[in-house]
Structure 1
Amino acid sequence: MRLSVVIPARNEAAALPALLADLAPLRAAGGEVIVVDGGSVDGTPDLARTGADRVLTADGGRAGQMAAGVAAASGELLWFLHADTRLPAGAEAALRSAVAAGRRWGRFDVRLSGRRPIFRVIAALMNRRSCLTGIATGDQGIFVTRAALTAVGGWPALPLMEDVELSRRLRRRAGWPACLRPALTTASRRWEEGGVARTILLMWGLRLAFFLGVPARRLAAWYR
């Protein structure tokens, strides 16, 4: 199965080159990397062209970027990575092993880039929650077969919580996600800029409100 990596990006000139370098062996082995820009003003698209097979532009927020990437991808297996992600050794091999074993979708554990001990605790709780609930978030490197993604209607066209809604649909139609242990490293800037306690309360509050039926558009307004 050809593997297509879709990376939504917006003003990620500082972080994206490192991820593209991590993905160079995947491209050399026949994989495909697609960067979908969401209106950057920092030169992200130009930087992306040096390490991606295709660079697209899409509106509609992250969900729109994901959908555009899927439409352009040629692979039967799709892997969605945030631009500030770094890959551990063996990540692609672990993904392919899970699919070969019959899993139709999954996600990776994560670790946060910050050095404060609290970030280790946050990451451990994120990983544990995800395995217990079968719900993955975008920074966990969601992967899925094209057939399974098509069966659930593709990426939900939501302004927020699109990854949570996708997980819910996949969990119902394709079973529980593969929870892969090689940990992706994701930037801790959201917690550092917003404050650890405030960010945790905000994210858990948004997720609870979403499960209680609050429309994603209203949640997006709260998030901003």
Structure 2
Amino acid sequence: MLISIIIPVYNEEINLLKRLSFLSEIAYQKPIEIIISNSPETTDCTINICKKFENVLFYNSPKKGRAAQMNYGAAKATGEIVVFLHADVQLPTNFYEEITQAINNNYKAGFFSYNFDRSSFLLNINSYFTKKDSLLAGGGDQCQFFLKTTFNELNGFNEDYCIMEDFEMIDRIRDKNIKYTVIQSKATVSARKYDNNSWLKVNLINGYVFMLYKFGVKPLILRKKYQNLLRETV
């Protein structure tokens, strides 16, 4: 069963080198294809990083924005399963087995629980709640995956969402009663947003923006509020 891993990138050369080194090794052992969907606004050496790996497919997305880039990568994918991976997130070593087992168990979609790349009591609290399905579960850091046919039936990510596109997708999956699962093998997520912001600040801002999303605030307004409140690129 071929898995297509799609990584939307915007100036992520440092993180991308780490991700591709790991995934490229797996690609020699398992049937996976690695697709980079590059933002038209990228200014770093992402393309040169990708050229170091013979089993990486590089595409320049004609549109910026994570939703558009992921859709573009999915359109190029030939796998029966599509996985959407952020450049600063590391999949667990057994991700192939976990995803294919989930699909064989008749799940059509899913996502991973995770730990952060550094440990602290407060960050561990966040990680704990990723093990369970909840209103806040399923964000992009949790590495969403889909049967390609299911993804196409959903018409991909909603490109009107320049932020929260991952939660909007999960909401549609729930609304349509599509069977999905939370994989307990943990991805590893960068804690970089906590380096310049306190744990409390990050979680309060995330909760506030998520609440606004649930109340139907337009994505452009959500992104502006997020950028103004948190020192993190969106």
Question: TM-score range with shorter-chain normalisation?
Answer: over 0.9
Asked if the contact 2:82/2:147 (under 8 Å) is kept, the reply is yes
Q: Percent identity?
A: 23
How far apart, in 2, do the equivalents of 1:126 and 1:108 lie?
A: 8
How far apart, in 1, do the equivalents of 2:149 and 2:7 lie?
A: 20
Q: Does 1:60 align with 2:61?
A: no
1:8: which partner in 2?
8
CA deviation string 1:166-192 (max 9, x = no partner): 111122235242110010001000122
Q: Give the deviation of 1:154 after TM superposition.
A: 0.8
1:153: which partner in 2?
155
1:37: which partner in 2?
38
Asked if the contact 1:6/1:79 (under 8 Å) is kept, the reply is yes
Asked if the contact 2:113/2:142 (under 8 Å) is kept, the reply is yes
TM-score, normalised to structure 2, is 0.89
Pick the aligned partner of 1:83 from 60, 83, 87: 87
Residues 6 and 150 from structure 1, CA distance in 2 versus in 1: closer, same or farther, beyond 3 angstroms?
Answer: same
1:21: which partner in 2?
21
Asked if the contact 1:148/1:174 (under 8 Å) is kept, the reply is no
| Partner secondary structure for residue 182 of structure 2 | strand
Asked if the contact 1:152/1:173 (under 8 Å) is kept, the reply is no
Q: CA RMSD in A?
A: 1.6
2:232: which partner in 1?
none
How far apart, in 2, do the equivalents of 1:195 and 1:134 lie?
A: 20
Q: Give the deviation of 1:135 after TM superposition.
A: 4.0
Q: Give the deviation of 1:53 after TM superposition.
A: 2.6
Q: Give the deviation of 1:57 after TM superposition.
A: 1.7
2:231: which partner in 1?
none
Q: Does 1:50 align with 2:48?
A: no
2:115: which partner in 1?
111
Q: Give the deviation of 1:134 after TM superposition.
A: 7.8
Structure 1 portions without partners, runs of 5+ = none
How far apart, in 1, do the equivalents of 2:56 and 2:15 lie?
A: 18
How far apart, in 1, do the equivalents of 2:75 and 2:128 lie?
A: 34
How far apart, in 1, do the equivalents of 2:45 and 2:64 lie?
A: 20
Query: Number of aligned pairs?
Result: 222
Asked if the contact 2:24/2:56 (under 8 Å) is kept, the reply is no
TM-score, normalised to structure 1, is 0.93
| Partner secondary structure for residue 14 of structure 2 | coil
Pick the aligned partner of 1:144 from 143, 146, 155: 146
CA deviation string 1:114-173 (max 9, x = no partner): 232221112113443xx1338411110100011111111111111111000011112223
| Partner secondary structure for residue 32 of structure 1 | strand
Asked if the contact 1:11/1:44 (under 8 Å) is kept, the reply is yes
Structure 2 portions without partners, runs of 5+ = 228-234
1:200: which partner in 2?
203
Q: Give the deviation of 1:34 after TM superposition.
A: 0.3
| Partner secondary structure for residue 220 of structure 2 | helix
Mean alpha-carbon deviation: is it higher for 13-22 or for 2-11?
13-22
| Partner secondary structure for residue 24 of structure 1 | helix
Asked if the contact 1:149/1:170 (under 8 Å) is kept, the reply is no
Asked if the contact 2:138/2:144 (under 8 Å) is kept, the reply is yes
How far apart, in 2, do the equivalents of 1:11 and 1:47 lie?
A: 11
How far apart, in 2, do the equivalents of 1:195 and 1:119 lie?
A: 11
